[in-house]
Structure 1
Amino acid sequence: MNRTDGADPEGAVRAWRGLADTSVLLDGFHAVKHALRFDARVPVALTSDRPAVLALADELAPDVKDALDELLTQVPDDRLRALVPRLHPTAMAALAVRPSRAANLEALRRPSRSAPVVVLDDPRNLGNAGAVIRLAAGFGATGVVTTGTLDPWHPTVVRGGAGLHFATAVERVEVADLPPGPVFALDAEGDDIRGLKLPDDAVLAFGSERSGLSAALRERADHLVSLPMRPQVSSYNLATSVGMALFHWSAGRPPGPEA
């Protein structure tokens, strides 16, 4: 990375404008922090308060402080807000290069996976999709794939994921092209998940918030499974369901740091 600590703010703004349409917006300190931790390529990062951002890094993420020190360019607040209208309270944003789709698909399709893939079947809520990606990254899932029209790299999804798209493989695919492995689809009429052991190569599928599993996904499923739920409670939030299923998978594994 080239040092852009304020010596050329106009050059940094020009670089931003040239890259904005083809790059991933990282909105705020925490998104940038996570992206850097997971080796995202970040060609430009802007802030209106460089000392405050570096102080925050010193307090919360000293492991990325040197990278931020090298990367950050300070620009006037009005210039930054013209580029990022919904500026995060930490007063910084960056642009990152989206990971290779081919590399992501290779990771998702690897036959000897050590962690499940999460499938969101035709999701509709951008914030929910981001929350699921954040959960999946935290549990060390191999990746998150979506079917349907929602773009899992939409800026609102990336914002909800806090930059953790770079910690796992995130792509959109057709149901016919799901990664290999036994498909466990969450359904209220399925077998109670507490009686099952989820294998590491499981494909965990969750229906949309509005209409549940699509017919195509239901047909593709090897197992229908349900989460424990009190009678007369109709459903859980999507991210809650994903978190419960991933916790059930992880509970059968020995404790210790994940790679």
Structure 2
Amino acid sequence: MNDESVRAWRADAQLPGTVLLDGFHPLKHALRFGGNVRRVLTADRAALLALAAELAPDVLPALDGLAAELPEAGLRALVPRLHPTGVVALADRRTAGANLAALTGRPRPAPVVLLENPRNLGNVGAVIRLAAGFGATGVVTTGDLDPWHPTVVRGSAGLHYATAVERLALAELPAGPLYVLDPEGADIRTLSFPDDALLAFGTERHGVSAELKARADRLVAVPMQPGVSSFNLATSVAMGLFHWMSGRPPGLGGD
């Protein structure tokens, strides 16, 4: 085991704002979208570089300069659960300043997704992945859950670096018309979402709070068959962002 690599990793892992990138795809996206990746460890350096050459040649030069090899047993001692690709990395969290600049800049070319008090780490990661894919301005969460938790970053495949991800209080929300997804709202098919909308989604169990509903400019409902209690949170976000994108000409936002 490379003791120097282990000591350096453990020291860096304790630094404020450090993000664990667990697996090849989060590492690939962090490098591709400008994340500051500080350390990369792998059980098989040659295999990692070959994988990058096949799937992401744009990040290969940076990866070649960062990747160090450590036996699998050593990697497993550093992380709670080793990804099947045998790759782990440490990076800097995207700064709050950069996130807030993107979220609050006007005019805003694409909606912000608001998750009110989400509870499931995997759901939040899936939403961030969707937001990046659709070209949303960013994802804002409220409540106690850290949207940069390692499980969330794993679920997003590292696409935190492709969009603005920040935790804010309701009083700190970016400006813009607030469209709240709620069963009591108007049918989503009867309206369109403006580019600068905040698209708000409630908790997986209880939906949106009375406070958020009271602040809404519009309540919006996705039609659902009788007897079906709810859609998955990420599915609801996907429907909302697809509805926004469908209202724009090809080549404008979300493309």
TM-score interval, normalised by the smaller of the two chains:
over 0.9
Corresponding residue number in structure 2 for 1:26: 21
Give 3-state SS (helix, strand or coil) of 1:133's partner: helix
Deviations 1:206-240 (A, max 9, x none): 00001110122112111000112122211100000
Amino acid at match of 2:240: A
Amino acid at match of 1:30: H
**Cα deviation, residue 258, structure 1:** 5.5
Corresponding residue number in structure 2 for 1:11: 4
Corresponding residue number in structure 2 for 1:119: 114
The equivalences for 1:43-192 within 5 A come to 43-192=38-187
The equivalences for 1:158-237 within 5 A come to 158-237=153-232
Equivalent residue pairs, number: 252
Amino acid at match of 1:12: S
**Cα deviation, residue 84, structure 1:** 1.4
Give 3-state SS (helix, strand or coil) of 1:83's partner: coil
TM-score (norm 2): 0.95
8 Å Cα contact 1:44-1:72 kept in structure 2: yes
Corresponding residue number in structure 1 for 2:37: 42
8 Å Cα contact 1:32-1:94 kept in structure 2: yes
**Cα deviation, residue 71, structure 1:** 1.0
TM-score (norm 1): 0.94
Amino acid at match of 2:88: A
Q: Separation in 2 of the partners of 1:91 and 1:250?
A: 37
**Cα deviation, residue 118, structure 1:** 0.2
**Cα deviation, residue 14, structure 1:** 2.3
8 Å Cα contact 1:175-1:216 kept in structure 2: no
8 Å Cα contact 1:27-1:94 kept in structure 2: yes
8 Å Cα contact 1:12-1:44 kept in structure 2: no
**Cα deviation, residue 60, structure 1:** 1.1
8 Å Cα contact 1:46-1:92 kept in structure 2: yes
Give 3-state SS (helix, strand or coil) of 2:230's partner: coil
Give 3-state SS (helix, strand or coil) of 2:204's partner: coil
8 Å Cα contact 2:136-2:254 kept in structure 1: no
**Cα deviation, residue 12, structure 1:** 3.0
8 Å Cα contact 1:147-1:172 kept in structure 2: yes
8 Å Cα contact 1:126-1:157 kept in structure 2: yes
Amino acid at match of 1:11: E
- Structure 1: gaps of 5 or more residues: 1-7
**Cα deviation, residue 151, structure 1:** 0.8
8 Å Cα contact 1:111-1:181 kept in structure 2: no
Give 3-state SS (helix, strand or coil) of 2:84's partner: coil
8 Å Cα contact 1:48-1:92 kept in structure 2: yes
- Which shows bigger deviation, 11-20 or 115-124? 11-20
Q: Please list every run of at least 4 consecutive aligned residues from structure 1 whose deviation after the TM superposition is greater than 4 angstroms.
A: none
Q: Separation in 1 of the partners of 2:196 and 2:227?
A: 33
User: Percent identical across equivalent pairs?
Assistant: 66
**Cα deviation, residue 136, structure 1:** 0.4
**Cα deviation, residue 254, structure 1:** 2.3
Q: Separation in 1 of the partners of 2:81 and 2:233?
A: 25
**Cα deviation, residue 51, structure 1:** 1.1
